[in-house]
């Protein structure tokens, strides 16, 4: 099925439409303020693979009415210098939020830098304190991709309370926080990983399957219960006779015959992730005002 036709299928959850709604809400908020502090994006070294993410963030910020500044730091910058610059941004009232693009050079400890970003300016939800808040059901500032997956599940209209969800993948920035966020919503969550004996045994009984592994077409129709919702977070580049293309962790064309809902790749989780970043910026602004920072 051609990618251009997929959004027309009623089983496809259109991430672009969800993004537009969320961005629209943020724009309504920013229109109520004469000035807004800026989002600052930090890129360390030459990272071509991050360019598409930065472009999408720039576009999303423009649509949401948020000033956006892109900083490119030298690849040989020291860890201490990075941290000092971030701490200075924490004290700068003209900086609303800090976005640390990944990957970073090998000599940079990304977790240490994420920890240096103040939780009230952590619009990516990557500070360990932000992730820890999810345990206490505080999901206002959470990792954007994880939050996007929850938002897309809600698009199905399925009641989250008691919903059986299987999360395939347990990374610190997607799988684990998404699982905790879904538990905060009342879901019963099973997390599968590379040591799980039979992933299919778990996924076949799930009302919702969320996949974030990074392996093209890992999930096929034999792993999905008829009528289940499938949220595909994977982004994989594969070679075809016509060149390369981006596919997800789910064999979309095959699973579409079984699933009740499915997110396309591209056009599913990706656009919503950008929108969640902008929504997080709005929440950060509200919390900074409440804290007396603005």
Q: Distance from CA of residue 33 to its chain's centroid?
A: 27
pLDDT value for 52: 87
Pair of tokens at residue 55? 């472009």
DSSP H or E stretch at residue 78: none
pLDDT value for 8: 54
pLDDT value for 9: 75
Q: Whole-prediction pTM value?
A: 0.94
pLDDT value for 2: 43
pLDDT in tens, the chain (294 residues): 444 444 457 799 999 999 999 999 999 999 999 999 999 999 999 988 888 899 999 999 999 999 999 999 999 999 999 999 999 999 999 999 999 999 999 999 999 999 999 999 999 999 999 999 999 999 999 999 999 999 999 999 999 999 999 999 999 999 999 999 999 999 999 999 999 999 999 999 999 999 999 999 999 999 999 999 999 999 998 988 888 899 999 999 999 999 999 999 999 999 999 999 999 999 999 999 999 999
Angle at 135 between CA 272 and CA 140, to 5 degrees: 40
pLDDT value for 67: 98
Other beta carbons less than 10 A from residue 187's beta carbon: 23
Domain extents in the chain:
17-127+273-290, 157-259
What fold, for 157-259?
Rossmann fold (3.40.50)
Name, in order, each residue with C-beta under 8 angstroms of 269's C-beta and a sequence gap of 6 or more: 15, 145, 148, 149, 152, 231, 232, 233, 263
Please tell me the distance from the alpha carbon of residue 24 to that of residue 172, in angstroms, as a whole number. Answer: 29
DSSP code per residue over 1-56: --GGGGGGSTTB--HHHHHHHHHHHHHHHHTTSS--PEEEEEEES--GGGHHHHHH
Strand partners, 236: 247
What's the CATH number of domain 17-127+273-290, 3.40.50.10860, 1.10.10.410, 3.40.50.2300, 3.30.70.1530? Answer: 3.40.50.10860
Q: Do domains 17-127+273-290 and 157-259 have the same CATH topology?
A: yes
Which DSSP letter does residue 71 get? E
Backbone phi and psi for residue 137, each to the nearest 5 degrees, phi listed first:
65, 20
Pair of tokens at residue 40? 């600052």
């Amino acid at each position: 099925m051609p990618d251009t036709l997929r959004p027309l299928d009623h089983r496809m959850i259109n991430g672009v439409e969800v993004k537009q709604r969320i961005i629209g809400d943020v724009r309504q908020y920013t229109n109520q303020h004469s000035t807004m502090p800026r989002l600052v994006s930090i890129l360390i070294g030459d990272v071509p693979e991050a360019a598409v993410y930065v472009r999408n963030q720039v576009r999303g910020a423009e649509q949401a009415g948020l000033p956006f500044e892109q900083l490119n730091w030298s690849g040989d910058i020291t860890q201490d210098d990075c941290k000092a610059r971030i701490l200075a941004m924490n004290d700068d009232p003209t900086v609303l939020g800090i976005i640390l693009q990944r990957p970073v050079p090998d000599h940079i400890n990304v977790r240490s830098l994420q920890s240096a970003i103040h939780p009230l300016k952590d619009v990516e939800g990557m500070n360990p304190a932000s992730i820890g808040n999810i345990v206490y059901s505080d999901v206002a500032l959470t990792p954007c991709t994880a939050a996007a997956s929850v938002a897309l599940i809600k698009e199905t209209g399925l009641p989250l309370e008691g919903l059986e969800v299987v999360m395939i993948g347990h990374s610190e920035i997607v799988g684990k926080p998404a699982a905790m966020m879904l538990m905060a919503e009342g879901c019963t969550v099973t997390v599968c990983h590379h040591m799980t004996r039979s992933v299919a045994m778990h996924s076949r009984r799930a009302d919702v399957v969320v996949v974030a592994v990074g392996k093209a077409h890992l999930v096929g129709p034999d792993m999905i219960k008829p009528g289940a919702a499938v949220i595909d977070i994977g982004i994989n580049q594969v070679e075809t006779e016509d060149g390369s293309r981006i596919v997800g962790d789910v064999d979309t064309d095959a699973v579409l015959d079984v699933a009740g809902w499915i997110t396309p790749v591209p056009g599913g989780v990706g656009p919503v992730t950008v929108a969640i970043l902008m929504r997080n910026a709005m929440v950060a602004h509200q919390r900074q005002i409440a804290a007396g920072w603005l």
